[in-house]
Structure 1
Amino acid sequence: MDAITLIAGQTMPYDRRWAVTSGASRYQGGWDECHAFMIGTRNPALAAMTATLDEESQTVHLQHPALPDISIQPDDPQSAAAFITWVTPLTPPGRAAPQAIVTAGQRGMTDTKYPSVSIMNTASHAAVADQLGKPLEPERWRGNIWLDGLPPWAEWDWIGRDIRIGAVTLRIQERIARCAHTAASPETGLRDADTLGALRDGWTHTDFGVYAAVMTGGRIALGDELEVL
């Protein structure tokens, strides 16, 4: 996106606004951990799904290389049922099938117990690609905000500190622990890169990116400068 408005105490608008439960889900409503839902760690083919939102009509346009395109309105029961039928063929044998679309509203189903925004460093991404010895798509990390022009892993030094981008102040809370979802190609949905192995071999951890909380809301846009406070 060229620009977006962030709100204090909230996620990036529409980030993980909807989630998909499975027949084995223990979901009880509201926010829940990612393991309550269909996720790429267990269903790598999901990595190749792309989505475009028409905010005015609340319509999500979905594409996957193994499926026909589909457009749905996730809050409409009939439309949600059509999505479940559409996505079911991506379920690996032996895994619980998708069941329903659920939402926690603006809260978003972030991987943190607090509403968070994920921040990535392009230099850190390039370092992982170099460790792998092959190009790597940035989409594997599913970052909300990408920063350029920094040294690799500079973001580790900001834990517990505030940064300002445009009109927005964010507090850097913690590193992002990564899972096998990052091994799957966002183009094919096949696992073709040992991202976790590269992180372990190169830096003795499997973290990439940082989680931040929005402290002061406002507009953020491409080209805004970063200031560490």
Structure 2
Amino acid sequence: MSSDKPAASVPRVAALYRYPVKGFTPESCESLTVLEEGRIAGDRVLGIRFADAGGAQDDWCKKQAFLSLMNTPGLARLSLKFDHQRLHLTMSLGDKLMSEAGLDKTGRQRIVEMITQYVLDLHENPLQKNPERLPLNLVGDGISPRYQDSSAGRVTLHGRESLLAVAGMLDSSELDERRFRSNIAVEGLNPWEEQGWIGKVVSIGEVRFRGFAAKERCLATHANPETGARDLPVLKALLNSYDTKKPVFAISLMPENSGIIRIGDPVLCSDVCA
């Protein structure tokens, strides 16, 4: 660890998130289960996919094939709750219930009809000038994590000190970490320290990870996670905050075993496997 931190200081997990529906609001969790396949249980188990995405309905495909904050920032205004046991999805807009349904054929149709109309009513939407993207499809079984940005899955992590560095570049006292849609937020690092973990072993709770790659960001980060407004030039700030030719924030991790990680778990990095 860097000598800038006191010797007794150990970085710890500050927050954990998973995203039942790709591109929609997160669940804040006390713990996450990391699966042997390299994904988090309950994470991106559903997605709203364009009709012209190609391939089989449930195949993994790139994020450009889905409704997401990158192409539909107004999705941030919808509050989503997913009952992982009952496979039941609820969406609200403020105090207004927009949809409540299961994942049977009828329920999926109701969800898609609501989402389609909601998106078409937005000033910025990817459907109005692209009719070939309709009808939308609700894909996924609600159980299998499948629709991460990478076909290999992976788990994402950022340090809150890096978040503060970006906030300083933006002259913003409050930069919500939900803009970056990480699974794990860590406190106790130096700014950008996690970027030095590529190729190293990162141990969190019961799980050992390998640092895989820096996460290049997209326009989704410009969307305010409460209002959906594109209110901050985050990509420009990232280019000016960290010595890189691409706007990166957070890193992706490949698990070496399955297990549970919890808020408060120490986060340890080493150069070689034990």
Same fold (TM over 0.5): yes
Q: Could you tell me which residue of structure 2 aligns to residue 36 of structure 1?
A: 65
Of the two, which has the highest radius of gyration?
2
Q: Does the alignment pair 1:187 with 2:226?
A: yes
Structure 2: give runs of 5+ residues left out of the alignment: 1-28
1:117-128 equivalences under 5 Å are 117-128=155-166
How many residue pairs get aligned? The number is: 228
RMSD: 1.9
Q: Could you tell me which residue of structure 2 aligns to residue 110 of structure 1?
A: 148
Q: Does the alignment pair 1:5 with 2:33?
A: yes
For residues 152 and 78 of structure 2, what CA distance do their matches in structure 1 show? 26
For residues 135 and 179 of structure 2, what CA distance do their matches in structure 1 show? 22
Look up the equivalent residue of 2:35 and give its one-letter code: I
2:265 to 203, 214, 224: 224
Q: Is the 8 A contact 2:98 2:114 kept in 1?
A: no
1:161-200 equivalences under 5 Å are 161-200=200-239
Q: Could you tell me which residue of structure 2 aligns to residue 22 of structure 1?
A: 50
Q: Does the alignment pair 1:99 with 2:136?
A: yes
* 3-state DSSP of counterpart to 1:106: coil
1:47 to 76, 82, 90: 76
**Cα 1:6–1:94 shift into 2, 3 Å:** same
* 3-state DSSP of counterpart to 1:24: helix
- State the Cα deviation string for residues 94-117 of structure 1 (Å, max 9, x = none): 244451111275242111121211
For residues 233 and 84 of structure 2, what CA distance do their matches in structure 1 show? 36
Normalised by the length of structure 1, the TM-score is 0.91
- State the Cα deviation string for residues 169-189 of structure 1 (Å, max 9, x = none): 111110111000110111111
* 3-state DSSP of counterpart to 1:197: helix
> How many Å apart are 1:141 and its aligned residue?
0.7
Normalised by the length of structure 2, the TM-score is 0.77
Look up the equivalent residue of 2:197 and give its one-letter code: W
For residues 262 and 36 of structure 2, what CA distance do their matches in structure 1 show? 17
Structure 1: give runs of 5+ residues left out of the alignment: none
> How many Å apart are 1:64 and its aligned residue?
3.1
Q: Is the 8 A contact 1:120 1:145 kept in 2?
A: yes
For residues 55 and 223 of structure 2, what CA distance do their matches in structure 1 show? 26
Q: Is the 8 A contact 1:10 1:107 kept in 2?
A: no
- Share of identical aligned residues, percent? 25
**Cα 1:77–1:99 shift into 2, 3 Å:** same
* 3-state DSSP of counterpart to 2:86: coil
